Structure 1
């Protein structure tokens, strides 16, 4: 390593290269890989009959190896007199037609359009640091002059941002086509560079291209991905470089708190295929000596489960697996996976790149899974919302073997926005039995089937179940409130499971929903069995504006107001609700819209402890009685806030006795309701367990 230049400017110095090659003697120095690593992409763009100018050849064996496989018209030039003399002596007898000349690549004497290809391995990188890139620009201009129409400049480079920007912008301005291959990395020494190697191919046209052709390929055979602007290409390059640096870091360091993730893309399509999340064991953990490293395959459709999607869940998974490093692998939608054996075969050559430091030679990392299955997923719909971005509706098989339908947004792919269970007519009756055994559908549907419907009686989200249980605070179903209507205002529709459940099973309930995104309403109706009617209506609009408007109307009161709405602002530590929904002035308007027995229900998702404390203080400042119910393994907590004062005989920190009694009445009332083939699957008493006075 002591023969490498101390500063970037030395790369372009003739004096430096004289010292370099005199120090190395006859030993070849291969920048960025040898013939075996580069031949695939070089043969793709340089024909054996082409007349090729090799700029900055050094004492690399690349030209010699190309000559030996049929490339007989290679002209090699270098600024170093020493290396040119060495290479001519070395090849005088064996390769008499392989010529080396001491020539400055920025001012050659070759004729215009006299070469079909120019090969550059590291020379652009060496020159780009001099004179703020002016030296490299002069070389690229010379390359353009000596290349014929259809000729290609083939440059092997590390593609550092200033270098690749200079070259790409230069050839785009000339109207050439630009393609960049990101080569697959090979094993390197511990002290080697971490950046991947790229091959830049710029093709000369007779007439300049009016619209830039910019393409990126993964690997030497990857299909080109077309990009529209130079910044997009540069961004894609930076992503590949960041990926490489992360892999280098993982091979040399361990950190139980880092949770680094890598995405592996399909070489030919460029689409994401696997996401690998690295979970290292905690320092001091008692791990068996042989348990270095394992790979856990998450079943398709289960990647949003808490134990796979959250840092704490993965930590527990790694602890139970008892390996120094556990790599949790999630499979992407819109990709085909044959079986577990095929997935293992595909990942085996790649996973060692993220192995922990100090791995024994030839160690075989075991593959782990949940039940040995790949799981199942079928994307039944996808689209783009102007408000929420790209979304997917997909059917998956759950851990219990049942089929579920989910709504996910790519802006937060680790979170299931809505979920409902699917049932078929011949299995509907089995869902009414309690304590049933786990079963798997014989043949999961491959396409949306009219024989499968959404089970409106099952609330897949625990916080929805707690909100429903909160209706016990209204004493719904008790003899004194048996026939009383229940008016509900819900902000946030999602898949419509919660408001549909309330309409179908809560006696006397009429539900008004406010939803900001009209696309979500259509998704709920088309894919989640949402059925609006005179007792279940939806208003498209902003929830803040709607409540402000209602507060200005006379006589518009509700028994229950529910907030189940997420925030689009990911920069704050509270993802539900948006901050404006928990300002004191707004909470007072909510209070004013409740009937004397009314209850305000809030799904709160706040990771910032200081922000959560502030929200709780504001809520308690408006509502005299606030209950809180956390959810094990989730950030969500549900606040049940009553206008009524707490009974004086109750302990300040206990749930009133009437609420426990009302829970039984509510359970009975729900069970006696009718909704076609569905029946409610909810345990009200369980949902109210661990309810605390906030």
Structure 2
């Protein structure tokens, strides 16, 4: 694709261009050694509030991640741009993508490679190219410097296991990754990602190598290496605080268990099934899961250890529609009396960046349906990734119109909050927490994390 340089002289909101050019320095750096290099230019959809000099930045795509949707798609590029405040144009430079063979790109394993000196020389050599791709107004006052951003995540190496397409979520992939361990130990994970929001990990579980006595010998890229899901631990940052919310109703659950009943959970958004599996195996819940895409469930069963049975029933349906049918008694084999509803659904519009839950959860009829299928002591737990503070405050306002008691847990990762809505004040108990078998089990299952970090949200009118 030939590009008229003149069109790059001005900013145009949401304009995205992708093209290849001959590599000006193919022998300078092994991370950019292909004969052709791919250039992608994206202008921010958000126009600056004042006519200031536009902020421009460039980024070199990590070697062997050229086909990663984070760098190869417009939606991934947009999320990179939106995560860099005040950037009006982001330029990505990387090796030409690997050819497509039998429906998927050749399986080159990614291994992190960083050489600061070599990378600095590469950035210097690319300076004329980056300047040529910048808007003319950027060089007001003879500014000739374009900063290079460095993409950083915790992945040491990765390998895509499968790419497939769902009728609702579109393209998705399953990958095994090794991540940086917090204590120098090796950590292996399996992830599910959607192309429409590639920077967001939909499901992440810990995996353990089969028949290996020493982790030093483990190689994700080895054809003989097999891993098994570890369903006994939650590794996704917000899932532990979601489960910790059960501490609010621990006394009520204990009473049900003592009378021979199992606690019941409704999970809207199954994904790979990490939360569903944990509630069943670690806390002895009966779980009803709802997932909109059958292909996601196939992947969950094949790669993430999801098992349907008497204690886990999964339905293929829109979560809000299913909850409405429950509220009206239209799901004949399910008694709509849940101890907890857990919602793990994100917005499917990448133009707004990563956000959760979908805007439809602001609707009063949705909240009333949720309230009606809960026990009197039940709670409604939602993973929230707010677009802005006003988004979060509006969500709280709408929930307060239906639920008298609201609580929150700050996940501590800047992005997520867990919002908890209750029909009534938490039930009290004459016994201490140490005598409550369910709370003891809960504390052991999640190492007590977040159980003491549940904060009541006061009424704004008081």
- TM-score with structure 2 length normalisation? 0.68
3-state SS of paired residue (1:549): helix
Paired position in structure 2 for 1:609 = 389
Equivalence map 1:195-214=2 (5 Å):
none
Q: Find the partner of 2:400 among 616, 620, 645.
A: 620
The structure 1 residue matched to 2:441, chosen from 669, 674, 681, is 669
Bigger relative contact order, structure 1 or 2, given CA contacts below 8 A and separation 6+?
Answer: 2
Give per-residue Cα distances to partners, 1:162-192, cap 9 Å, x unaligned. xxxxxxxxxxxxxxxxxx9735569xxxxxx
**Rounded Cα–Cα distance in structure 2 between residues aligned with 1:370 and 1:387:** 30
Query: Which residue does 1:534 correspond to in 2?
Result: 310
In 1, the alpha carbon distance for the partners of 2:401 and 2:226 equals 51
Match of 1:378 among 143, 159, 162: 159
- How far off is 1:342 after superposition? 7.6
User: How far apart, in 2, do the equivalents of 1:512 and 1:444 lie?
Assistant: 37
Alignment partner, residue 422 of structure 2: 642
Larger Rg: 1
Deviation at 1:582, TM superposition (A): 2.7
- Give the conservation status (yes or no) of the 8 Å contact 1:425–1:452: yes
* Residue 581 of structure 1: how far off its partner (Å): 2.4
Contact 1:423 1:454 in 2 (8 A): yes
Unaligned runs of 5+ in 2: 8-18, 26-31, 44-51, 98-104, 132-137
- Please name the residue that 1:410 is paired with: 195
Q: Which position in structure 1 is the counterpart of 2:273?
A: 496
1:551–1:449 CA distance, 2 compared to 1 (3 A): farther
Q: Structure 1-normalised TM-score?
A: 0.47
Q: Contact conserved, 1:624 with 1:646, CA < 8 A, in 2? A: no
| In structure 1, distance between residues paired with 2:149 and 2:404 | 54
After superposition, what is the alpha-carbon deviation per residue over 1:333-354, rounded to whole angstroms, capped at 9, x for unaligned? 9556677378975773345526
Partner of 1:524: 300
Q: Does 1:182 align with 2:21?
A: yes
Report the RMSD for the aligned CA atoms in angstroms: 5.1
Within a 5 Å distance, the mapping from 1:60-459 to structure 2 comes to 158=4, 182-183=21-22, 222=36, 242=41, 258=55, 260-262=57-59, 310-311=83-84, 335=108, 340=113, 345=118, 348-351=121-124, 352-353=126-127, 375-400=156-181, 401-424=186-209, 441-447=216-222, 451-459=226-234
Unaligned 5+ segments in structure 1 are 1-155, 162-179, 187-217, 224-235, 245-252, 277-302, 316-326, 360-364, 429-438, 648-655, 673-679
Give the match's secondary structure for 1:419.
strand
CA contact (8 A) 1:403 1:423 kept: yes
Q: How many residues align?
A: 394
Deviation at 1:447, TM superposition (A): 4.6
1:461-496 CA-to-partner distances (Å, cap 9, x unmatched) read 232111211222232664674443111111101110
Contact 2:300/2:306, CA 8 A, preserved across alignment:
yes
Deviation at 1:597, TM superposition (A): 1.4
Contact 2:266 2:342 in 1 (8 A): yes
Partners of 1:427 and 1:686 in 2: how far apart?
Answer: 33
Offset, 1:263: 5.8
Secondary structure class of the residue paired with 1:683: coil
Residue 513 of structure 1 is matched in structure 2 by 289
How has the CA–CA distance of structure 1 residues 692 and 421 changed in structure 2, closer, same or farther, with 3 Å as cutoff? same
**Deviation per CA, 1:307-352, whole angstroms, max 9, x where unpaired?**
999548xx9xxxxxxxxxxx99999995566773789757733455
Compared CA separation, residues 531 and 336, structure 1 to 2 (3 A): closer
Return the offset for 1:384.
2.2
Deviation at 1:522, TM superposition (A): 0.8
Distance 1:597 1:494 in 2: 27
Tell me the equivalent position of 1:684: 448
CA apart distance, 1:662: 7.8
**Shift in CA distance, 254/337, structure 1 to aligned 2, threshold 3 Å:** farther
- Contact 1:563–1:601, Cα closer than 8 Å, also in 2: yes
Distance 2:328 2:238 in 1: 30
Structure 1 521/622 Cα, relative in aligned 2: closer, same or farther at 3 Å? same
